[in-house]
């Protein structure tokens, strides 16, 4: 399969013709209680980033400079993050990252689906009149040079190009599944098949929709207007893409053949979120996602260096610790520690995610746990060794104990 390379000198010229929308209004109920105070794209990842940082970094690294972030529920945390960490583009050059809350401009309803979110904001295209529109989900962990999918989109004269990932059929029930011809034209699209027998093809593998789309603007506007008049779910996967297959040029972009096509993760559940963080820590994700030539940006706070102290010192193995943290005579193994965290003497932390501003007392044992921002536990607390006892005090999901934001125990 042909791999598309791009030239940095032509990248900005091309992308002046592209407007980007990032869908960031999802409730993220399957990530509760991490989404109790915030939307899913605003959830921390690797105890340092926010999930949306990956989509935004991909945009900036690809040369995209006109980006709308569509928000809806519990958006304050996300908006604060974008103001603090992503307010650096040159407005005088018509560059921006702008949050757009649901405004009920068209009807009394809030966004009722992914397609409806774009439809209710079509007025934003009138200011720029782009030739193409890039639409992204704000809740996936991956790297991608969007110039590659853009180049294929132009070469094929596509009305829509959707990025696709190859996975096992047994893992595909939570995704949109599609089949393509040799020319990469999408022939069939099934949103979240209820049974594996519904998935086309005889192989054990299948192609899934990654939630990354680039449309010709005219085709997008026409389809959204048509969909708005129907009694559909107003969703790209359920309605827009299937309805386009017989009338438009719709192609798939094979992610694995791209420059960064080795890692993509939908952190849709607590278990997948936890596993993805651990993969990041163990370099399956981190080594390939955070690289000098494709950096992941986030809020940078001015804090002192990490301090390791005590009489016997700190044992640290296969772990990362954020700036401004204080660790005293403790053991940390296979864990992610955020910024401004205090871990007292005699404590052992293993296979856990401790986000920013947490406090962990003396002589504690913490295993298989997630501490959200500002959580704290008192001296001599044990988590992760007695499931029945943990259930009395903490939120438990698939064997993982979760302490919500600012939880005190």
Output the CA torsion 110→111→112→117 (10° steps): 160
Q: How many CB atoms lie within 10 A of CB 203?
A: 10
| Confidence (pLDDT) at 328 | 97
Q: Which domains does the chain have, with CATH numbers?
A: 8-289 (3.90.550.10), 307-403 (2.160.10.10)
| Confidence (pLDDT) at 126 | 86
| Confidence (pLDDT) at 172 | 86
Interval 270-279 mean pLDDT: 94
Output the CA torsion 92→97→99→103 (10° steps): 60
pLDDT tens column, 348-393: 999 999 999 999 999 999 999 999 999 999 999 999 999 999 999 9
Output the 3-class SS for 186-225: EEEEEECCCCHHHCCCCCCEEEEEEEEEEEEHHHHHHHHH
Q: What is the pTM of this model?
A: 0.92
Share of the chain above pLDDT 70, in %: 95
pLDDT tens column, 291-344: 888 999 998 888 999 999 999 999 999 999 999 999 999 999 999 999 999 999
Residue 130 or 25, more confident: 130
CA 124 to chain centre: 24
């Amino acid at each position: 399969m042909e791999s598309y390379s791009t030239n940095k000198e032509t990248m900005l010229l091309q992308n002046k013709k592209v407007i980007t929308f990032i869908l960031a209004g999802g409730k993220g109920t399957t990530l509760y209680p991490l989404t109790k105070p915030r939307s899913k794209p605003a959830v921390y990842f690797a105890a340092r980033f926010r999930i949306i940082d990956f989509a935004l970094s991909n945009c900036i690294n690809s040369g995209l400079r006109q980006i709308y972030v569509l928000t809806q529920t519990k958006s304050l945390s996300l908006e604060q993050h974008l103001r603090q960490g992503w307010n650096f583009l040159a407005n005088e050059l018509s560059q921006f990252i702008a949050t757009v809350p649901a405004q009920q401009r068209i009807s009394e309803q809030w966004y009722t689906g992914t397609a409806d979110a774009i439809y209710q904001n079509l007025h934003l295209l009138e200011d720029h009149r782009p030739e193409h529109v890039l639409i992204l989900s704000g809740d996936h962990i991956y790297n991608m040079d969007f110039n590659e999918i853009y180049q294929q989109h132009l070469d094929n004269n596509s009305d829509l190009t959707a990025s696709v990932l190859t996975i096992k059929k047994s893992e595909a029930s939570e995704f949109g599944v599609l089949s393509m011809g040799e020319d990469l034209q999408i022939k069939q699209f099934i949103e979240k098949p209820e049974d594996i027998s519904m998935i086309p093809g005889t192989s054990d593998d299948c192609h899934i929709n990654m939630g990354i789309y680039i449309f010709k603007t005219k085709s997008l506007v026409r389809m959204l207007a048509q969909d708005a008049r129907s009694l559909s779910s107003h969703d790209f996967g359920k309605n827009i893409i299937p309805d386009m297959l017989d009338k438009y040029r719709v192609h798939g972009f094979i992610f694995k053949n791209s420059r960064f096509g080795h890692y993509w993760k939908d952190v849709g559940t607590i278990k997948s979120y936890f596993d993805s963080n651990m993969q990041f820590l163990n370099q399956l994700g981190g080594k390939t996602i955070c690289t000098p030539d494709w950096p992941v940006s986030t809020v940078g706070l001015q804090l002192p260096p990490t301090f390791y102290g005590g009489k016997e010192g700190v044992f640290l193995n296969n772990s990362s610790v954020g700036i401004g943290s204080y660790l005293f005579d403790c053991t940390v193994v296979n864990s992610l520690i955020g910024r401004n965290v205090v871990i007292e003497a005699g404590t052992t932390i293993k296979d856990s995610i401790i986000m920013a501003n947490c406090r962990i007392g003396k002589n504690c044992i913490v295993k298989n746990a997630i501490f959200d921002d500002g959580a704290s536990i008192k001296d001599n607390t044990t988590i992760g060794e007695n499931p029945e006892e943990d259930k009395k005090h903490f939120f438990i999901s698939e064997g993982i104990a979760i302490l919500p934001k600012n939880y005190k125990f």
